[in-house]
Structure 1
């Protein structure tokens, strides 16, 4: 009986091998950066679209970016903290959650890793389809990185040539922060983890607007990218599961 019960018990999903996973993540990130930097960089068109975004938000009474940017620039400590949050947390938090899933929640790791990939793929498609200038490139807005002399991954100055400045729609800062929150909340065992996880994307959205790096609609686009990524990743897992059924060849 014991043997039969053990035989009928479902085996827990195994943790993927570490080095192939690291190689996969590094290659995907390098490909993401390379493709992102190939996004068409026509300033006139990107700026025109930025004004269209502002006009649409104004008609919907959602144009909060300028007021947030003014508030940030009026408080040095807030602006400097936001600059470093924008530059560091986007990568540090995402990598941290990936490592945590791999070590502590291996059964969930593959699903969330695939979700991050599909979400980012949709983000790249958005960059190509809709190159958009960030608010900091428009008159009246302040680039807080330049104004306060802090280090940042993006700015409107001479260092801007290092990366494409018009890959703003959708906001991957928003998409990745929502991904982190979803992964943590789904596996959380303590109430404070849920609260902090939920606060992270909320703070991220305020920061990307206060530093004049994104519009509110860019953040909405990031949410849509995550939703689309979820649909794609679920479809991919269903296809793989169907291919593994008896009578079908093994999934590649």
Structure 2
């Protein structure tokens, strides 16, 4: 009798093509996971870059911004605490010798065309540039879109915690200060917290500055992914210009900008932990779901037949024995 061979689980694993491994290869992921342990298949699939869907992204961004505005404005306007915190920030900046906001505010306000331009910059580019970068990512870098979007969403989400824990009045609302509310003075539509819109927005949510958080997200994304040198330069100049604007219009202290940077750092760290790399290092494009399934089928069909283990007898086809017909 021939030797019997028991196929172990390890042999089956080595011989059977891995569907999960094929999916990781097709999506461009370089992460290798073992069949045992590691992440669950469903979670592993969520961590793999996908081709974004337009309708889902529009709905997600609209609902997310609506929730952000709702939560931000629902934070209690603790006026007394916000004014105390503003005095503390202003005193701290004097202590370190970097209390320059009032000087910049008054100097830029003396040039009417410049301060009016900054008022409109503050009111519009915050949204226009951010949406423009999201559209650019969706069209030109779909493989990096989800990871980069996660950075933006996480940055915004953690900012809500800052609004709740540390209410802060902007410099233009400080008591007894020499700051000028440039929107009120020049009657420009430059801030949801001034003029006719002041009752629609929480005026004491200045820390952290999402003008800096979002503009720095835009600038770093453009600098990391754009190919034209002039585009990279503009990407880096955008958050710098935004910092000048928020200070000149007396909407933020420079320490609010530091808070925005901290929130962005959290967003980058969360995206890195989820995807295992920085967004710009992911593949630029990923196949659409239909193409991915087609490639998986083709790979499984072309997969070689499993080889028998060393020393095992190859399976032999059964031979039918002729049956003699009885006369």
Q: Separation in 2 of the partners of 1:46 and 1:173?
A: 19
Equivalent residue for 2:90? 54
2:186 corresponding residue in structure 1: 148
Question: Is 1:196 aligned to residue 228 of structure 2?
Answer: no
Q: CA deviation at 1:153?
A: 2.8
Contact 1:209 1:216 in 2 (8 A): yes
Shift of 1:236: 3.1
Query: Hey, what's the Cα distance between the residues in 2 that align with 1:144 and 1:80?
Result: 8
TM-score (normalised: structure 1): 0.88
Aligned to 2:199: 161
Mapped pair 1:113 → 2:149:
yes
Deviation at 1:159, TM superposition (A): 2.9
Match status 1:125 vs 2:161: yes
Answer yes or no: is 1:102 the counterpart of 2:141: no
Asked if the contact 2:101/2:254 (under 8 Å) is kept, the reply is: yes
- Among 184, 208, 216, the residue aligned to 2:246: 208
- Give deviations 1:63-122, integer Å, cap 9, x for gaps: 111011001210101110000000000000000000000001111111110110100011
Residues matched between the structures, number: 232
Higher helix residue share: 1
Instruction: Indicate yes or no: 2:116 matched with 1:75.
Output: no
Deviations, residues 28-59 of structure 1 (Å, cap 9, x unaligned):
00000000001120211101100100000111
The question of 1:235 aligning with 2:258 is answered no
2:74 match: secondary structure: coil
Is 1:186 the counterpart of 2:210? The answer is no
Q: 1-side partners of 2:82 and 2:267: how far apart?
A: 25
Of 14, 18, 28, 2:54 maps to: 18
Contact 2:152 2:217 in 1 (8 A): yes
Q: Secondary structure at the match of 1:37?
A: helix
Query: Please, which of 137, 147, 172 is the counterpart of residue 173 of structure 2?
Result: 137
1:228, distance to aligned residue in structure 2 (A)? 1.1
Distance 1:222 1:9 in 2: 37
1:32 to 58, 68, 73: 68
Structure 2 counterpart of 1:3? none
The alpha-carbon deviation at position 141 of structure 1 amounts to 0.6
d(CA) in 2 for partners of 1:41, 1:171 = 17
CA distance in 2: counterparts of 1:155 and 1:118, whole angstroms: 24
Structure 1 unaligned regions, length at least 5: 1-6, 239-252
2: CA distance, partners of 1:14 / 1:40: 39
Tell me if the contact between 2:77 and 2:202 (Cα under 8 Å) persists in the aligned partners.
yes
Q: Is 2:193–2:199's contact at 8 Å kept on the other side of the alignment?
A: no
Q: How far has the Cα of 1:156 moved from its partner?
A: 3.9
Q: What is the rounded CA distance, in whole Å, between the counterparts of 2:196 and 2:238 in structure 1?
A: 31
